[in-house]
Structure 1
Amino acid sequence: MRQRKFAVIWRFLCPAAPLFLLSLLCSMLNTLFTALTPQIIRSAVDSIIGSQPFQDLPAPLIQWLSSLTFEKALLWAAAGVLAVSGLAALFGFLSRTGTAMCSERFVKGIRDTLFTHIQKLPFAWHTAHQTGEIIQRCTSDVEVIRSFVTTQCLEAFRVLFLVFVSFVLMFSMSVKISLVALAFLPVVVIYSLFFYAKMAQRFLAADEAEGELTTDVQENLTGVRVVRAFGREAYEVGKFDEKNQRFSDLWIRLGKLMSVYWACGDLLCGFQILAVLLVGVGETVSGAITPGTFLAFLTYNAAMIWPVRGLGRVLSEMSKAGVSIERVGEIMDAQEEQFPAEPKIPDWKGNIVFDHVTFGYGGEEPVLRDVSFTVPAGTTFAILGGTGSGKSTVAALLTRLYDLGPGEGRITIDGIDLRDIPQSELRRNIGLVLQEPFLYSKTVEENIKATRPAASREEVRRAAGVACVDQALAEMALGYDTIVGERGVTLSGGQKQRVAIARTLLSQAPVLLLDDSLSAVDTETDERIRGALLREAMGTTLILISHRVTTLMKADHILVLEDGRVAEEGTHEELIARNGPYHRVYEIQMSQDDRRLLAGEGGEA
């Protein structure tokens, strides 16, 4: 598990490793120059203000300092403090600048890789994961990882180096006091590790609760029209409040645990400083060490003990980062859509064959059972079925949103197995319009041009005319420049479907697949769109999927699905004559207005 987490970090840190190492080096140099200041003060107190001879300095420097007057020696000591402080500040600046650059390069790599990877994941993966949870993993969890790797890890290295330098200097001044100071460090470390284990569990629970809360907000905002239409505001507020309360309670519990940790840490550090102070005073009074040495010792101890206690913050961040790395790693480990080893590209005449296809979602009961049919190239093929009959599954399989497994049959286009055709090639040549189309929060024209950004305004108008949405746009103040609200919320259901049809028509795909995409338009508009499609799509393989008979009755061939099986197939006239499932649906659905409309078209079958 730890190797896996390290591999995830190294994968993204590697490109920024030079900056990381440079920041680490500058941080160490900052620590070294900072550590020189107490030594200068020690010499000033003992040998300039006091009468002790200069120690631990090169002989020429000792001789030169001894020849100076009191005032000059004190000025040179002050200049020395300013010089080393300036160098420490310079390297501190370089370290922080390098850390900022490394941090952004690191997090950019994670975001880019995550987003690209998510685009390549199968549709089944997306249906199994909530949108809010995915967003939370790609934002909050990524930020936690960034903070830990590029801030807390550097701080941990700096503290360890500071402890090493401090103890080297402290032992050189007094072994006895150094041992007293050192005795408390294992206690602090063990105590921090104990809390680290406790906090990791609570961070995981809080992180998961945050994902649920984000999902709840995302679903509420997405479905705001449904919430308002059914007066569900109070219910949604109550549901959000319940999850928000749980989220708050988890963070309060975590906050209490961290409060105990910091309070006990302060107490331990206070005892350590008190012990060093008492022993140090005794050593100074007895003459074992000089006052300057004692002052320098206290400075090193204070500079060391508080960052050591701060390692607990690093450990707590490590617990958060461990959870976040695991959650991000789960996305990165998800298997991308598989491309055929030897891809084959059809010439796209559009001849489609379903050969004994049986399919179920995730190992559940089959939705399609031994379904076989052929769609001749350039024809209009219709699929009729009620809810749960499997008609939308046909569309999902044809566009490879889901793949058939071994023994589940075969689907071919122009004689080539669907699994041998690259997904990008397949979806570029099959124009799909869903019952609930997604529209971007852009202008209507930009939404239509999504499949062909380089299309001209005239081509956009032509596609909109075939989809019978041009008249509705003409009635809008800004026409094609009308801004569509998020997910198309400012348009009616029928208008959204027609904009989506225009968008697909503009792609000029050789196969058009309309999956119940006329369900939100009235019968008359339905007829106009179908007529325009049949005229416009000459030579194009057109597949119409619907539960509405009037949408399908003029197709060259009609397939009727019931409970995932082929109930019957044929032309409209043939199916009516058989007096089977199609005829029953026809009789139920055909209203007086529908019959008048058909009579106006040339008579009823």
Structure 2
Amino acid sequence: MTGSVHSSSRHAPQQGPKGSYMRLADPLPDQIQKKLYPVLETDEEIHITLESDLDAKGRFQPSWLIVTDRRVMALELNGAGDDIAVPLEDLTRVAVEPLVGGSCLEVSTADDTIPLIRYSQSRVDVFNEAQRGIEQHIEEKPFQVKTEFPRVVCETCGRRLPTRDGLCPACVSKWGMLKRICAYLGAHRAKAIAMVALFAVLSVAELLPPKITQLIIDDAFANEDVDLLFWFVVAMAGLLVLRWLGEMANGWLTAWVGARVVADIRAQVYHHVEYLSLGFHDKQKTGGLLSRVTRDTRNVRSFLVDGLPFLILRWMTTLGIIGILFYTNWVLTLYILIPVPLIIIWGRVLYRRLRTYYTRMWRQWEGFFTHIQESLSGIRIVKAFAQENREVGRFKRNARDMFALEYWTEKQWIYYFSTMGLLNFLGFIVVWLVGGGQVLGQELTLGELILFYFYLQMFYGPLRWLGRVNSWMTRAMSAAERVFELIDMEPENYEDKNAKQMLQTRGEIRFHGVTFGYDAALPVLRDVNLHIRPGEMIGLVGKSGAGKSTTINLICRFYDVNYGSITLDGVDLRDIRLEDLRGHIGVVLQEPILFNGTIRENIAYGKPAASFEDIMAAARAANAHNFILAKPDGYDTILGDKGTGLSGGEKQRVSIARAILHDPRILILDEATSSVDAETEKQLQEAIARLIKGRTTIAIAHRLSTLRDADRLVVLEQGRVVEEGTHEELIANRGHFHHLVRLQKATSEIMEVA
């Protein structure tokens, strides 16, 4: 039984800045209130009340985190474990310990580390904020936490969502998804209307021949009227020609519209994927995205081209058949309709069972594509380590898993169709028994009995194939689910109308108390304050994992900070148009990314309209012009995947030429001269010296000697700025930087001896 939070103003969570406490105040049940309020002091204020879904032993039992202005507590609802209370003044640290299927919030004192409360993955976001709130208490900072969290659980059924803010496979409406697919027909309205009209014509062309057959038997044969027989046969032939022409026209229209709609969906998916954040792409498998853009959209097309036309035509025909049969003999019609409810119910049950398996199959296909993409793109490593057999073995295991899923689903359809055949046969028995008796009793003519026989074939045929349409729909809806899940994801906000235009920049960058982690519970940068002056070159120095690359990612706004802010010329990056911000930044990476195409196209990638003279000038400045001219086709030399055809140093110089042509105000060099020989490094250093003139430059280099010319070095240690100064100043200080230089020098001497 859930009660309300105690109404006393001295205890209830108060409204903080921008609603800080509102999302961190779950209503307390009566049992927790009875435990909590008697131990609170008169003026003690509650800041956080959060419900966890796990107890101290990891069982699915509710427990509670309570944070006041004096203590932090963990209370269990059923009283099975010991309650915990620790004074805030004794805390030295709060941390999240990742566990299988969840995490544990731990607090530390001078003497001990205490596992405070456990929770599952569905509560990770809100408890990360609770950790942040407790940290603020420890550091005596204002209490400010996020108040909005992505959905990780379905609000309807309570199941965990496959992706944050994604669709719930169990709750998504099949018909709602179908309507969303058909909404794409709006762009091709005229052809869609023509399709429906042709379906109606085809339905009539299918319905009339059995009726004509009945008239031939009952009127032409019975009256021995040759002229009537002739005209009935002519009408039958005309209907056949009409049906032939209608099927050709409808087939062409259906194929065009289906292909066009899926091309529209595919283009929208790819466009949307391009604009999704780097945070999304970091968590996705490339093969999985390829599967969605290609295989899933192809399944949607299959349904639009094959399944939807069949469904519309057969339902039109079926409704016409039922109307004619009831008009002819309603008693016999009721008899042959008896199995229909069973068929429909069975089809729905089978659909629900198969939907789960189709969802598993799509995920299996995703892994399948991912493995193929990884093994082929990394074929050099596979061959270098002679692991071909291992990769073939992985492929075979994936293929076996795919076989097991596909065999099971197809086996279900075999059972379904076999049973449908039996029910069809029972329908014919009913027609001959009941209808034959009515013919003998002169209640039904022979022509009408033949009419029932033909219409029964046409009626049970679509019902039998209704299962196959269900299969088409199941595949298409599962595929559409995954496609629309991508489309519905929030892209980077390039169209923010409130963002400020920044056509020019001086290049002054400031970090104001920046804290950031790819997982909010595990910060990579902690309370970083940094000022980079216009035109200054700074070098970021530190061990691996210190936060150097993360700093660059935040400047490019590939990610937004969790706390604090970064400004460019005094304007928060989040308030600047993304296109303008990134237009002022140029990047030269350790592993240069080149695309399929000519060298000329790669240099002009950031400025496609550049003249050939400008491209050559950039190549000269990057010391790339001479080696390009030495190629058989010069600037029109076509490069393979990832720049195949160029050496590492040549790729890097093309990358530098690309940055020079882009002419950014802010330049980022990420290990731009690593992994090259001395002569190539000299050429690269010359090119970089020309590139950085007059630009704000942030450089990362593991070889610390390459940063001697930097105006200032910033040393990062465990996400914090621990030293700043010139190369000589930091050496003289004999601190963290001096230690790194000595360590690197010792390592180099060992390698030289080896």
Question: What TM-score results when the alignment is normalised by the length of structure 2?
Answer: 0.72
Task: Indicate which of 204, 217, 225 corresponds to 2:359.
Answer: 204
Task: Give RMSD over aligned pairs.
Answer: 2.4
Q: What is the match of residue 46 of structure 1? A: 218
Task: Indicate which of 379, 392, 407 corresponds to 1:224.
Answer: 379
Kindly provide the amino acid, as one letter, of the partner of residue 459 in structure 1: D
**How far has the Cα of 1:191 moved from its partner?**
2.0
Q: What is the match of residue 369 of structure 1? A: 526
Task: Indicate which of 420, 427, 443 corresponds to 1:272.
Answer: 427
SS for the counterpart of 2:683 is: helix
Instruction: Give deviations 1:25-62, integer Å, cap 9, x for gaps.
Output: 3212211132112222222222222239xxxxxxxxxx
Task: Indicate which of 585, 601, 614 corresponds to 1:446.
Answer: 601
CA distance in 1, matches of 2:268, 2:479: 16
Task: Indicate which of 541, 548, 564 corresponds to 2:703.
Answer: 548
Count of residue correspondences: 575
Task: Indicate which of 344, 349, 354 corresponds to 2:511.
Answer: 354
Task: Indicate which of 331, 334, 345 corresponds to 1:176.
Answer: 331
What does 1:383-462 align with in structure 2 at a 5 Å threshold?
383-405=540-562, 408-462=563-617
Q: Is contact 2:503-2:580 (8 Å) kept? A: no
Q: What is the match of residue 24 of structure 1? A: 196
Task: Indicate which of 676, 684, 690 corresponds to 1:521.
Answer: 676
**How far has the Cα of 1:7 moved from its partner?**
5.8
Q: Which moved more, 1:82-91 or 1:240-249?
A: 82-91
CA distance in 2, matches of 1:593, 1:225: 28
What does 1:50-449 align with in structure 2 at a 5 Å threshold?
50-51=222-223, 70-338=225-493, 339=496, 341-345=498-502, 347-405=504-562, 408-449=563-604
Q: Which moved more, 1:361-370 or 1:464-473?
A: 464-473
CA distance in 2, matches of 1:534, 1:238: 50
Q: Which moved more, 1:516-525 or 1:210-219?
A: 516-525
The 1:171/1:410 distance shift into structure 2, 3 A limit, reads closer
What does 1:1-20 align with in structure 2 at a 5 Å threshold?
1-2=172-173, 5-6=177-178, 8-20=180-192
The 1:429/1:138 distance shift into structure 2, 3 A limit, reads same
The 1:10/1:174 distance shift into structure 2, 3 A limit, reads closer
Kindly provide the amino acid, as one letter, of the partner of residue 373 in structure 1: L
CA distance in 2, matches of 1:458, 1:276: 85
Instruction: Give deviations 1:386-411, integer Å, cap 9, x for gaps.
Output: 21111101110000000113xx2221
**How far has the Cα of 1:591 moved from its partner?**
8.8
CA distance in 2, matches of 1:296, 1:483: 69
Higher relative contact order (CA 8 A, sep 6+): 1
The 1:77/1:593 distance shift into structure 2, 3 A limit, reads closer
Instruction: Give deviations 1:300-356, integer Å, cap 9, x for gaps.
Output: 111121112111111122222222222122212211113362424163121122222
Q: Which moved more, 1:164-173 or 1:148-157?
A: 148-157
Q: Is contact 2:604-2:658 (8 Å) kept? A: yes
Q: What is the match of residue 38 of structure 2? A: none
**How far has the Cα of 1:590 moved from its partner?**
4.8
Q: Which moved more, 1:520-529 or 1:307-316?
A: 520-529
Instruction: Give deviations 1:39-94, integer Å, cap 9, x for gaps.
Output: 22222222222239xxxxxxxxxxxxxxxxx4433222211112222233333333
**How far has the Cα of 1:284 moved from its partner?**
2.5
Instruction: Give deviations 1:231-276, integer Å, cap 9, x for gaps.
Output: 2222222222211211111111111111111111112212212322
Kindly provide the amino acid, as one letter, of the partner of residue 525 in structure 2: L
The 1:417/1:7 distance shift into structure 2, 3 A limit, reads farther
Instruction: Give deviations 1:175-223, integer Å, cap 9, x for gaps.
Output: 3322222112222222222221221111111111011100111111222
Kindly provide the amino acid, as one letter, of the partner of residue 157 in structure 1: I
Residue ranges of structure 2 left out of the alignment (5+ in a row)? 1-171, 750-754
Q: Which moved more, 1:289-298 or 1:150-159?
A: 150-159
Kindly provide the amino acid, as one letter, of the partner of residue 389 in structure 2: A
Kindly provide the amino acid, as one letter, of the partner of residue 382 in structure 1: G
Q: Which moved more, 1:223-232 or 1:116-125?
A: 223-232
CA distance in 1, matches of 2:417, 2:210: 28
Q: What is the match of residue 600 of structure 1? A: none
Q: Is contact 2:525-2:719 (8 Å) kept? A: yes
**How far has the Cα of 1:10 moved from its partner?**
4.6
Q: Is contact 2:540-2:714 (8 Å) kept? A: yes
CA distance in 2, matches of 1:317, 1:363: 42
CA distance in 1, matches of 2:340, 2:277: 51
Q: Is contact 1:382-1:552 (8 Å) kept? A: yes
**How far has the Cα of 1:431 moved from its partner?**
0.4
**How far has the Cα of 1:11 moved from its partner?**
4.1
What does 1:494-505 align with in structure 2 at a 5 Å threshold?
494-505=649-660
Percent identical: 33
CA distance in 1, matches of 2:410, 2:232: 46
Determine if the alignment matches structure 1 residue 560 to structure 2 residue 711: no
Q: Is contact 1:20-1:150 (8 Å) kept? A: no
CA distance in 2, matches of 1:230, 1:483: 30
Q: Which moved more, 1:454-463 or 1:438-447?
A: 454-463
Q: Is contact 1:23-1:99 (8 Å) kept? A: yes
**How far has the Cα of 1:224 moved from its partner?**
1.8
Question: What TM-score results when the alignment is normalised by the length of structure 1?
Answer: 0.89
The 1:149/1:530 distance shift into structure 2, 3 A limit, reads same
SS for the counterpart of 1:437 is: coil
4+ aligned runs moved over 4 Å, structure 1: 590-594
Task: Indicate which of 191, 205, 209 corresponds to 1:33.
Answer: 205
Kindly provide the amino acid, as one letter, of the partner of residue 568 in structure 1: E
CA distance in 2, matches of 1:390, 1:426: 22
CA distance in 1, matches of 2:702, 2:672: 11
**How far has the Cα of 1:474 moved from its partner?**
4.6
The 1:593/1:332 distance shift into structure 2, 3 A limit, reads closer
Kindly provide the amino acid, as one letter, of the partner of residue 333 in structure 2: S
